[in-house]
């Protein structure tokens, strides 16, 4: 992938990861239950959905110029980004297993996209 395609992929992954953090904040900040009304009238949920829509737009822009078989593996990098973000922003534990898994994912993305 060229530089602009790589940037689109990175921005898509960032949007997906930030969206997940916002969804977690929406779920934990909702009224006890959580009820559908409590979750849907939540600024974190609305922000997360807006970011997901933007990430989908970036993804579609990427797919205009990159083969799906080359672009799709990059989405797995969201699994690499979310645990550290959850640690920093939500205070969740960052386990060695997550770091080991992230290393395997990065290697897998590299392996599946090299030479493309």
27-57 per-position pLDDT tens digit: 887 655 556 665 566 888 899 999 999 999 9
> What are the structure tokens assigned to 45, written together?
């949920």
Q: CA 44, 20, 100: angle at the middle one, nearest 5?
A: 150
Q: How many structural domains compose the chain?
A: 1
**Residue 57 belongs to domain spanning:** 3-113
Residue 65, number of CB atoms within 10 A of its CB: 12
Rounded CA-CA distance 51/99 in Å is: 26
pTM: 0.85
Residue 106, H or E segment:
helix 96-113
């Amino acid at each position: 992938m060229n530089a602009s395609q790589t940037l689109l992929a990175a921005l898509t992954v960032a949007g997906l990861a930030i969206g997940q953090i916002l969804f977690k904040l929406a779920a934990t900040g909702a009224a006890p239950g959580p009820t559908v009304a409590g979750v849907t009238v939540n600024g974190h949920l609305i922000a997360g959905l807006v970011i997901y829509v933007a990430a989908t737009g970036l993804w579609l822009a990427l797919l205009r110029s990159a083969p799906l078989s080359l672009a799709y593996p990059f989405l797995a990098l969201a699994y690499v980004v979310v645990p550290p973000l959850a640690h920093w922003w939500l205070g969740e534990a960052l386990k060695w297993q997550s770091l080991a898994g992230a290393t395997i994912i990065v290697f897998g993305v590299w392996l599946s996209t090299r030479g493309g």
